[in-house]
Amino acid sequence: MPLRARQRCHALLAALVALIATAVLAAAPSASAADTWTEAGSDRADPLTESQGLTSVEVPAGAANRYTGIGTIPIGVSTRGWNHVGDPDASYDGHYIEPYQADSGTAKMYRVQAPNGTWSEYVHALSPGEALNNSWVAVSPDGQWMLSGEWGTMTRFLVFPTPGVNASTSPSANLPQAATVTLDHAVRDVQGCDFLSATQLLCSSDDPAGTLFGYTKPLLQIDLTAAPTGSANVTGHVTALRQLPLRSGCSGTFEAEGIDYDRRTGTLRVIVVSPGFCVLTDSKTYRFTRS
């Protein structure tokens, strides 16, 4: 090939490579879009009453943070088979919601305390292919929609009308699944999620394998293409931000549990249960701040 022809060919290839690189970079999620959460302290987590989940409650003003564990399940609830409680959440108007599951069956239950203190129960009959477990709930900032997840390796979250808040719900009727959040990357053993904004969540994963993101027990950020509603499915972009703290006087398997973001203080909290005997002594609720 003549020199000038080769030069023109090389120039064309270089331009083509630059164009492809530009397109790839434009399509890829920006690293700066993911926040950095820095550990800011910790508190002991009681293994009976603070080992499953937690949430901050804005109404009434000055309300204490709420926690769940095997010791918080009322006798009248557990004797009816609802013997596991997950990570709760609260709407900004003060409705507090706990997710329950049983060892077997075809339904999940959401126990709701209204701002006036009264309790009610909402039962969801499983959809075909839906997992039985009920590990967590996350209420959207507008209060109308509630996300919930399934155990194992999953590529979706489920969307429900928020029981007790959304006018379409009733304790005497089945709580229906309204839509789906389809995730662009698989997640494993999510134990809790909480909304930072209408289109962004943080989630705690108890992933024991570390094959999905390169390390175990990741803190995940989920960016939604739109705020969840009951009228349409949305997509969630998954980013692994960091490994949750795994420190204890005992060696063995830690368990990442519930998560809470308090918008009033900007504080993120995540429960990590220690292995072995140290579950009693040094399980922690870790606090994080955003930078």
- The partner residues of 119 in beta bridges, in order of sequence, read 113
Q: Express each pLDDT in 160-202 by its tens digit.
A: 999 999 999 999 999 999 999 999 999 999 999 999 999 999 9
Please answer whether residues 124 and 107 qualify as being in contact, where contact means their C-beta atoms are separated by less than 8 angstroms.
yes
CA atoms of 97 and 111, how far apart (whole Å)? 6
- Is the CB of residue 244 less than 8 Å from the CB of residue 191? no
Instruction: Report the C-alpha gap between 204 and 194 in whole angstroms.
Output: 9
* CA–CA separation, 244 and 223 (whole Å): 20
According to the model, what pLDDT value does residue 271 have? Answer: 98
The SS3 assignment for 266 reads coil
Number of H helices, E strands in the chain: 2, 19
Give the pLDDT of residue 185.
98
Q: Is the pLDDT of residue 24 over 70?
A: no
Task: For residues 74 and 82, give the distance between their C-alpha atoms in angstroms, rounded to a whole number.
Answer: 10
Domain boundaries, the chain: 35-288
For the four alpha carbons of 286, 58, 189 and 183, in that order, the dihedral sign comes to: negative
Q: How high does pLDDT run on average in the chain?
A: 90
Q: Which fold has domain 35-288?
A: Neuraminidase (2.120.10)
Cα–Cα distance measured from residue 272 to residue 279, given in angstroms and rounded to the nearest whole number: 9
State pLDDT tens for residues 81-94: 999 999 999 999 99
Q: Which residues contact 65 (CB under 8 A, 6 or more apart)?
A: 54, 55, 56, 57, 260
Q: What is the pLDDT of residues 28-79, one digit of tens each?
A: 333 335 789 999 999 999 999 999 999 999 999 999 999 999 999 999 999 9
In this predicted structure, the answer to whether residue 21 has a pLDDT above a threshold of 80 is no
- Residue 287's pLDDT band, with cuts at 50, 70 and 90, is very high
More confident residue, 11 or 31: 11
- Looking at residue 291, its pLDDT comes to 87
According to the model, what pLDDT value does residue 33 have?
59
Q: CA 136, 97, 219: angle at the middle one, nearest 5?
A: 30
Residues 137 and 130: their CA atoms lie apart, in Å, by 16
Each residue of 136-157: pLDDT tens digit?
A: 999 999 999 999 999 999 999 9
How would you write 28-88 as a 3-class SS string?
CCCHHHCCCEEEEEEEECCCCCCCCEEECCCCCCCCCCEEECHHHCCHHHHCCCCCEECEC
Give pLDDT, residue 13.
36
Name the helix (H) or strand (E) containing 232: none
Asked if residue 60 has a cis previous peptide bond (ω within 30° of 0), the answer is yes
Q: Per-residue pLDDT for 11 more than 70? A: no
Query: What is the per-residue pLDDT across 209-259, written as a single tens digit (0 to 9) for each?
Result: 999 999 999 999 999 999 999 999 999 999 999 999 999 999 999 999 999
